[in-house]
Structure 1
Amino acid sequence: MQHIKFPLYVCLFTTIILSAQTKEITLEDIWKDGTFRTELMDVLHSMANGQQYSVLNFDRKTRSTFIDIYDYKTLKKVETLVSSENLEDIPYFTDYTFSKDEQKIILATKEEEIYRRSVLGNYYVYNVKDGSLDLISEEKIQEPTFSPDGKRVAFVEDNNLYVKDLNSGAIIQVTSDGEKNKIINGITDWVYEEEFAFVRAFDWNADSNKIAFIRFDETNVPEFSMDIYGTALYQTQRVFKYPKAGEANSEVSLHIFDLNTKETNKVKVDKEYEDFYMPRIKWTNNPDVLSAQYMNRHQNELDLWMINAITNTSNMVLAERDKAYVNVTDYLTFLKDNSFIWTSEKDGYNHIYHYDKKGNLINQVTKGNWEVTDYYGYNEKDNTIFYQSVENGSINRDVYSIKLNGRNKKRLTKSEGTNNASFSADFSFFINTFSSATTPPEYTLNSSESGNLIKSIKDNDKLAQTLSGYKTSKKEFSTILVNGSDLNMWMIKPANFDASKAYPLLMYQYSGPGSQKVVNQWNNSNDYWYQHLAQEGYIVVCVDGRGTGFKGADFKKVTQNELGKYEVEDQITAAKQLGALSYIDASRIGIWGWSFGGFMSSNCLFKGNEVFNMAIAVAPVSSWRFYDSIYTERFLGTPQENPSGYDENSPLNHVDKLKGDFLLVHGSSDDNVHLQNTMRLAEALIQADKQFDWAVYPDKNHRIYGGNTSLHLYKKMTSFIHEKLGDKIQNKEETKVNQVKIKG
């Protein structure tokens, strides 16, 4: 039975819809000319005095970079602390990091991407007092990090950990066994970086005399190789360790280096672990006590250990357990008494908890059928925690304050949409970044006590004015009842929408566990593309099905052990219900997605061949057997344990059902979702005698970008949509050809 709720609220694409809207959004506007470029505040840092903040500014004319200091109260620039124009050795820098006393700054130059989060670069230490500049290492290095006293910098070079004394210039080599594709010290391996979302695997203690680090032994991890074609006569190969589902992971071990004795001790906790992960390490406020999180390979058990670096003894203070999986928290915060703040889904929603130093629960700080989505910090002066949540609706984000005892909760942000805060060091102020489907990002200074606006810092009025001259459509937020669940949805209709006509429908989704694509925030590049398609005569819809995030653990984890089953069912059912609407042509429904979304769009076209007649899959997973261990096993277990979960929902095993039109796209240098996925899917389609279109972008990674690449890709996808879904818009009553033609 069709059941679609009318919009809870309708978000206009711009704050004012003017009658002068005549221009049409072109693909060149989006991916070549930067017509809709959004103004941002880059690398915002709150100064220790709590009254000022710094921002990285860039002069496009001179190509110079600056660290400028601003006053919170007046928002006026106080000074330019560093200018690349005054630095002989650095024509520009792309990032900066202050020492704790803010008397030294690490400046990043010539950074080159390794994988998604990791970079190699040349890094200098700038002395604020005398303006001197010191190159940390002649070689390119990773993750240079000040000691808390600012006297040293630790960094990784060629998989080994080093410490440089900034006064004497002396360098201590902490490890010497680092070797590519074998041993890594202090930096994560590929799969940790991608799935546990961190690169720096070392940490200074509070007294600056000890460094804890993780050692990765990749020896037994299988290698993956990719051809790099470039411009040379012969291609080269990129070879790296990549543990696919069920294969060997790196063997990890925890070590503590003592700068006073120059000795390194291996940590051994009082529990035997086999095939385990160590997703986080962090020193407590006690300089001799290190915390470490240990997780089993199934990722449904997470233990928090306190390790005494003097006695090399350990104590497990917290044990999280879940039938599906336990989320790793980034919000572990130690208070002065070494009690700690922790986040967990143990009551069914992600919330904040307070434990004493022995792991005894003091209290649950936040409660309710909603999720905490970010943790900003704890103000010791008045025992206040600041956080972000979806209490005001799962597609919105607001900033809140609450006492450590769980009382006196305040909503600090007023506007409905997406709010994100950057607090001053003393928590007196916060800079709020707000956007919604109606409002491009605006930056305001607010009181952390009341949330009240103090001053506006920056807005994107120029962008709003630019858009006012273009034909744009409403983004309508609503919910749709599918397979017993209320699912969040947005819909974009043509600006000249006529309910008497029947329009082709393009659905977009991602659908990965815990993800969200229906969110009340400003546009990314794809949103402008959807506007382009709407002005060409399409209706574009996005539905977040079961398994997506911010609606509780049960909703998210229902897909456990069956990735691609319920998610595909929801998209197929939603498409049927949408196709029953009088203004949608059920004979012309397409779907597209990228990565997990490409896995989904492939399955939707194959399994839902009576509903979808076109799909685009970009960089898709075609079998979870080909994907990495940490991500895949978190949701499916190993292939050895759950073969049906891997195979029954693999697009490879449903190619015989293909009836519609299929476009398959991949980058040949995708280190994340390997080209192997597309090659195997293409071969399966060929052997099933199924025609399809495809494109491989040479030497492009998972994002498939660079130079003219994005424009080329979106031109290809747009042409495919026009050819397979477009043609002509039919009149629903007369079922005859309407004079309105879709371009292309």
Structure 2
Amino acid sequence: MTGQLSFPRQHARTQRFTLGAPRAFSVAPDDSRVVFLRSRGGTDRAGLLWVYDVAGRREYPAADPVALLGGADEELSAEERARRERSREGSAGVVGYAVDQSVETAAFALSGRLFVSDLTGGESRELPAPGPVVDPRPSPDGRHVAYVAGGALRVTGTGGDGDRALAEPEADTVTYGLAEFIAAEEMDRTRGFWWSPDSDTLLVARADDAPVRRWWIADPAHPGQAPTEVAYPAAGTADAEVRLVLLGLDGSRTEIEWDRQRYPYLARVHWSAYGPPLLLVQARDQRSQLYLAVDTGSGRTSTVHADEDAVWLDLFPGVPAWTPDGRLVRIADEGGARALMVGDRKLTSGALQVRAVLSVGEDDVLFSAAPGAEAALPDQPGELDVHRAWFRGSGDQGGWEPVGKRPFPAVHSAVRGDRLVVLSHAEPERPGARVELLRATDHGAAETVAEIASYAETPVITARPQLTFAGKNDIPCAVLLPTGYDEGDGPLPVLMDPYGGPHGQRVVAAHNAYVTSQWFADQGFAVIVADGRGSPGRSPAWEKAVRDDLAAITLEDQVEALTALAGRYPLDLGRVSIRGWSYGGYLAGLAALRRPDVFHAAVVGAPVTDWRLYDTHYTERYLGHPDEQPAVYAANSLVTDEGLSGVAEGPARPMMIIHGLADDNVVVAHSLRLSSALLAAGHPHEVLPLSGVTHMTPQEQVAENLLLLQVDFLKRSLGL
């Protein structure tokens, strides 16, 4: 049946080929089992909780949503829908879970109800709980489950006894135990509570969004429905007020103290048996931050380390953390490189650009990194490897080695237990990703124990990205030509297909990242994906070059990549188009308006057109505070209060503007203001409003037809 589907339909039905792929791995500390999520097939949206028994070399489901709900449809609360939107989660069933320290018990929410699983036996049961339940997490000893319901932080026994609220909201604007909007959307902090290692206390975030400006998102297709009220912290306006409280199972409550006026952003919380609770708090301008240790007796905090940067400070997955001997693990920009730090010791050199800490062991750290600026320029861009570094060695700098290194560029990620590592490989030549279980041997090598099967569908087309660098800035690029293209076929119309924004990487050494671009190529285009400055690169300086000048620099790099590649590939520079979504949509609008001499048509999807309407933590990191830098905001916006901003001399290029009317991240006001300004200026454009669609487009028919409509528009606009 799959072979009978068109690529747009298959792409939509498989949710971009993610359904059926194993993900969200946990490894038991004794290496006895691996827990993960996976649906039963490549078009099945319902995720199951699975266990792989390492000794028995077998896997079994621990939680099946169809059986647990008796075949009934899921019902999602507003809080759960918002949480999934922030995490871009489009599947169903079991979409997340948490485990105890021994990985014997898992807790998860399903249709707003509370469930726990015995991972050793593969059985799940429902616990009585007031709902709707959000983000349940078992205590480390497996005896309790904490969860959020109705804005209250509650706890119950895993036997279903003793359910009670530890903290209840004092007002409708208050929640306990949930990440506020800005933390979940921009800081990658999706949690709002953390268990103590001895399972008798929790650190709980209290968020009050009363100070946050209210916006209303309506669906014009249903005028009888009241608009949805959203607390949206736009640039220059108030954020939610976030505090931390220490709640004991005995009913005790202790407020955690730090200078919240100077450091209002609670970016990270870490609590392990290796040390006291550890906080990372940031100033609003994100140029200074503190690592704080919490005294659980008094609630006072003490500074472990302080960072400052003249441009901005990044947040990274997996840090901060403690080593077993109580040293701080962090990632820092040191000497022009992004380095792994343990205490005052730098474990890596400029040969690596560290991206994330994956695990802290007894004497080493597992981390992911790309080639750094001091390494020789790779033959191809897009590589991301897993490494381990030792912090108990002698000398000023420890050694490191790759884990599961392959002789070709690839994208790797990993989790581990004691000696067992779950390593995922995504490669340019192979669809999907392969998941291996590796076990370290006494000789320091690793042997493959097993593979965890993927049920994801294979795309009906094969992507053939040519990964390369372009221009004086060595911009990472992927070039895709039509399947079967021959040099005698002549030059091709061009489609630039970027994201192009800060912290967004599109050029990766993985096949499925390019299947949509290949489909566009097969419609008769030479497709170019280019990651300019601001995207994750080989040095902090590359990423921070866009400060105060997003528009000019990211657009300049797209033009540079296009021009440099024209001498190496069959590109018709008289017919150049661009498409993008979110920041990519903003970049597409910039291209059509500011460089009509280069770009001849643009598909502008969910664009940020006025940065005053986007959120605080993201926008102010790059452009500062709008009250302090109004000229910077005007220079980087597509529209101003008076009309279009920065429009160049030249012909008006056609645009298709696409936006979901239910988008609460980049609200549709961005596109409406752009359309009004274009109309006033006499610029040709089309507007495609998507009723009921958010910043994601998970609906099958919508996702399929969006691709078809874009190709039709591009061909019409370029005269093909």
TM superposition score category, shorter chain reference = 0.7 to 0.9
Equivalence for 2:246:
256
How far apart in 1 are the matches of 2:167 and 2:15?
46
Which of 322, 338, 345 is residue 334 of structure 1 equivalent to? 322
Letter in 2 for 1:54: V
Q: Deviations over 1:713-743 (max 9, x none)?
A: 111101011212252xxxxxxxxxxxxxxxx
Which of 585, 610, 615 is residue 623 of structure 1 equivalent to? 610
2:29 equivalent to 1:48: yes
Which of 411, 423, 429 is residue 402 of structure 2 equivalent to? 411
How far apart in 2 are the matches of 1:87 and 1:604?
51
Cα offset, 1:58, TM superposition: 4.3
Cα offset, 1:600, TM superposition: 0.7
Q: Deviations over 1:525-546 (max 9, x none)?
A: xx33322232232111111111
Shift in CA distance, 676/656, structure 1 to aligned 2, threshold 3 Å: farther
2:185 equivalent to 1:194: yes
1:283-362 matches, within 5 Å, as 283-285=271-273, 289-331=276-318, 332-355=320-343, 361=344
How far apart in 2 are the matches of 1:188 and 1:237?
23
Letter in 1 for 2:497: Y
1:724-743 matches, within 5 Å, as 724-725=717-718, 727=720
Q: Deviations over 1:541-598 (max 9, x none)?
A: 1111112113111011011111211111121233344456683222100111110111
Cα offset, 1:23, TM superposition: 10
How far apart in 1 are the matches of 2:384 and 2:105?
35
SS of structure 2 residue aligned to 1:654: coil
Equivalence for 1:373:
355
**How many residues were matched structurally?**
673
How far apart in 1 are the matches of 2:14 and 2:246?
51
Letter in 1 for 2:214: E
Structure 2, unpaired ranges of 5+: 73-92, 640-644
Q: Which deviates the most, 598-607 or 49-58?
A: 49-58
How far apart in 2 are the matches of 1:281 and 1:57?
28
8 Å contact from structure 2 (residues 22, 36) kept in 1: yes
Equivalence for 2:509:
520
Equivalence for 1:477:
467
Which of 575, 589, 597 is residue 602 of structure 1 equivalent to? 589
8 Å contact from structure 2 (residues 387, 401) kept in 1: yes
Equivalence for 1:12:
none
Cα offset, 1:172, TM superposition: 3.0
Cα offset, 1:504, TM superposition: 0.5
8 Å contact from structure 1 (residues 442, 460) kept in 2: yes
SS of structure 1 residue aligned to 2:194: strand
SS of structure 1 residue aligned to 2:218: strand
Cα offset, 1:315, TM superposition: 1.2
Cα offset, 1:396, TM superposition: 0.5
Q: Deviations over 1:102-151 (max 9, x none)?
A: 443324312xxxxxxxxxx2222345699673424131121111122222
1:21-32 matches, within 5 Å, as 26-32=7-13
8 Å contact from structure 2 (residues 97, 137) kept in 1: no
Q: Deviations over 1:494-550 (max 9, x none)?
A: 2333434121111111111122111111214xx333222322321111111112113
SS of structure 1 residue aligned to 2:430: coil
Shift in CA distance, 686/461, structure 1 to aligned 2, threshold 3 Å: closer
Q: Which deviates the most, 87-96 or 612-621?
A: 87-96
How far apart in 2 are the matches of 1:149 and 1:197?
27
Cα offset, 1:636, TM superposition: 0.8
SS of structure 2 residue aligned to 1:659: coil
How far apart in 1 are the matches of 2:576 and 2:307?
44
2:436 equivalent to 1:444: yes
Letter in 2 for 1:442: R
Letter in 2 for 1:675: V
Letter in 2 for 1:411: P
1:414-429 matches, within 5 Å, as 414-415=405-406, 416-426=408-418, 428-429=419-420
SS of structure 1 residue aligned to 2:210: coil
Q: Which deviates the most, 501-510 or 272-281?
A: 272-281
How far apart in 2 are the matches of 1:36 and 1:147?
34
Cα offset, 1:97, TM superposition: 3.2
How far apart in 1 are the matches of 2:430 and 2:58?
25
Which of 630, 633, 651 is residue 638 of structure 2 equivalent to? 651
SS of structure 2 residue aligned to 1:236: coil
Equivalence for 2:533:
546
Percentage of pairs with the same residue: 21
Equivalence for 2:499:
510
SS of structure 2 residue aligned to 1:413: coil
Equivalence for 1:398:
385
Equivalence for 2:195:
204
2:145 equivalent to 1:153: yes
Q: Which deviates the most, 531-540 or 416-425?
A: 416-425
2:690 equivalent to 1:697: yes
Letter in 2 for 1:185: Y
Q: Deviations over 1:246-300 (max 9, x none)?
A: 011112222212333x23222223x57347211122224367x322222111011
How far apart in 2 are the matches of 1:203 and 1:335?
18
Which of 588, 595, 601 is residue 614 of structure 1 equivalent to? 601
Q: Which deviates the most, 136-145 or 626-635?
A: 136-145
Which of 214, 217, 235 is residue 208 of structure 2 equivalent to? 217
2:367 equivalent to 1:387: yes
Shift in CA distance, 35/98, structure 1 to aligned 2, threshold 3 Å: closer
Letter in 2 for 1:504: P
Letter in 1 for 2:349: K
Cα offset, 1:433, TM superposition: 1.5
Cα offset, 1:444, TM superposition: 2.3
Cα offset, 1:435, TM superposition: 1.8
TM-score, L = length of structure 2 = 0.86
The structure that has the greater radius of gyration is 1
Equivalence for 1:742:
none
TM-score, L = length of structure 1 = 0.84
8 Å contact from structure 1 (residues 606, 659) kept in 2: yes
Shift in CA distance, 479/236, structure 1 to aligned 2, threshold 3 Å: same
Shift in CA distance, 458/590, structure 1 to aligned 2, threshold 3 Å: same
Equivalence for 2:166:
174
Shift in CA distance, 86/504, structure 1 to aligned 2, threshold 3 Å: closer
Q: Which deviates the most, 631-640 or 411-420?
A: 411-420
1:7-26 matches, within 5 Å, as 26=7
Cα offset, 1:319, TM superposition: 0.3
8 Å contact from structure 1 (residues 473, 494) kept in 2: no
Equivalence for 1:7:
none
How far apart in 1 are the matches of 2:69 and 2:464?
51
2:176 equivalent to 1:185: yes
Pairwise CA RMSD of aligned residues? 3.0
Equivalence for 2:448:
454
Shift in CA distance, 246/205, structure 1 to aligned 2, threshold 3 Å: same
How far apart in 2 are the matches of 1:664 and 1:168?
52
8 Å contact from structure 1 (residues 144, 155) kept in 2: yes
How far apart in 2 are the matches of 1:603 and 1:98?
46
Cα offset, 1:38, TM superposition: 7.0
Cα offset, 1:385, TM superposition: 2.0
How far apart in 2 are the matches of 1:71 and 1:343?
34
Cα offset, 1:700, TM superposition: 0.5
How far apart in 2 are the matches of 1:463 and 1:176?
45
8 Å contact from structure 1 (residues 50, 425) kept in 2: yes
8 Å contact from structure 1 (residues 158, 179) kept in 2: no
Letter in 2 for 1:238: T
Q: Deviations over 1:2-22 (max 9, x none)?
A: xxxxxxxxxxxxxxxxxxxx9
How far apart in 2 are the matches of 1:63 and 1:201?
27
SS of structure 1 residue aligned to 2:646: helix
SS of structure 2 residue aligned to 1:345: strand
Equivalence for 1:711:
704
